[in-house]
Amino acid sequence: MGTHLQDPKLRGGGSGNDDSKQVNTSVKSSFLKTHPSKSANHDVFLSFLGEDTGRNFVDHLHSALEEEEILTYMHRESNLSDQLHSETMKTIEESRISIIVFSKNYARSSKCMDELAYIMKCMDVRKHRVVPVFYHVDTPNVRNQRGDFEQVFSKHESINPSKVELRRKALRDASNLSGWDIQSHADG
Catalytic residues: 115
Q: Which residues contact 85 (CB under 8 A, 6 or more apart)?
A: 111, 114
Is the Cβ–Cβ distance between 119 and 100 less than 8 Å? yes
Scored b (16 or more CB within 10 A) or e, 15-27 reads eeeeebeebbebb
129-135 and 97-102: which strand pairing?
parallel
Is the Cβ–Cβ distance between 123 and 169 less than 8 Å? no
CA 126 to CA 124: how far, in whole Å?
6
How big, in percent rounded to 5, are the helix, strand and coil portions of the chain?
A: 50, 10, 35
